[in-house]
Amino acid sequence: MIAWTIYLTFGGAVLLLVLPREFARWIALLATISGLALGTLAFVGMPISNLAHFTTIVRVPWVPALGMNYHLALDGVSLTMVLVTGISAVSTVLFSWDVEYRQNEFFFWLLLVVGGCYGVFLSADLFLLFVFYELVIVPKYFLIAIFGSTNKEYGAMKLTLYSFFGGMFVFIGILVAYVSGGSLDLNQLSQFEFSPQLQSWAFPVLFFGFVVLAGIWPLHTWAPTGHAAAPTAGSMLLAGIVMKLGSYAALRVAMNLFPQGFQIWSKWIAVLAVIGIVYAAAVALRQRDLKFVIGYSSVSHMGFVLLGLATANVLGVSGAVLQMFSHGVIAALLFAVAGRMIYRRTHTRELDALSEMNLSHAMPFAAFTFVVAAAASMGIPGFSGFAAEITILIGAWKTYPVAVWIAGAGIVIVAAFTLRALKLSFFGGKDVQDEVTTATTFRREEFNPITIPEKIGACMLMLTTLAVGVYPKLLLDRIMPAVETMRFLK
Cα separations in angstroms, 75 against 32, 51, 68, 187, 446: 21, 4, 21, 12, 49
Burial of 456 (0-12, 13-18, 19+ CB in 10 A): middle
Task: Indicate the residue among 288 and 444 with the shorter CB distance to other proteins.
Answer: 444
190's enclosing H/E stretch is: none
- Spell out, one character per residue from 319 to 358, where the chain touches other proteins: x when CB under 8 A holds, - when not: ----------------------------------------
Q: Which of 227, 223, 224 is nearest to 214 (CA)?
A: 223
Which listed residue (5, 266, 391, 465) binds other proteins by CB under 8 A?
Answer: 391
Count the residues of the shown chain that bind other proteins, applying the rule CB under 8 A: 40
Helices (H), 123-258: 126-147, 152-181, 186-189, 196-211, 222-229, 232-237, 243-249, 256-257
Residue 427 found at the interface with other proteins (CB under 8 A): yes
- Residue count of the chain: 490
Residue 364 found at the interface with other proteins (CB under 8 A): yes
Stretch that binds other proteins, among 14-22, 100-108, 258-266, 425-433 (CB under 8 A): 425-433
Stretch that binds other proteins, among 58-66, 283-291, 337-345, 392-400 (CB under 8 A): 392-400
Residue 286 found at the interface with other proteins (CB under 8 A): no
Task: Indicate the residue among 38 and 404 with the shorter CB distance to other proteins.
Answer: 404
CB-based contact 31:11 (threshold 8 Å): yes
Which listed residue (23, 150, 350, 429) binds other proteins by CB under 8 A?
Answer: 429
Q: Which of 55, 3, 242, 12 is nearest to 136 (CA)?
A: 242
Q: How far is the CB of 284 from other proteins (least distance, A)?
A: 15
- Residues 55 and 322: their CA atoms lie apart, in Å, by 20
Task: Indicate the residue among 4 and 471 with the shorter CB distance to other proteins.
Answer: 471
Residue 403 found at the interface with other proteins (CB under 8 A): no
Residue 431 found at the interface with other proteins (CB under 8 A): yes
Residue type, position 339, single letter: G
Q: How many whole angstroms from its chain centre is CA 364?
A: 27
Touching other proteins, residues 294-323 (CB under 8 A): 315, 318
Helices (H), 256-363: 256-257, 259-284, 290-311, 314-335, 344-346, 351-355, 359-362
Task: List residues binding other proteins (CB under 8 A).
Answer: 315, 318, 360, 364, 371, 375, 378, 380-382, 386-387, 390-391, 393-394, 397-398, 401, 404-405, 408-409, 411-412, 415-416, 419-420, 423, 427, 429-431, 434, 471-473, 476, 480
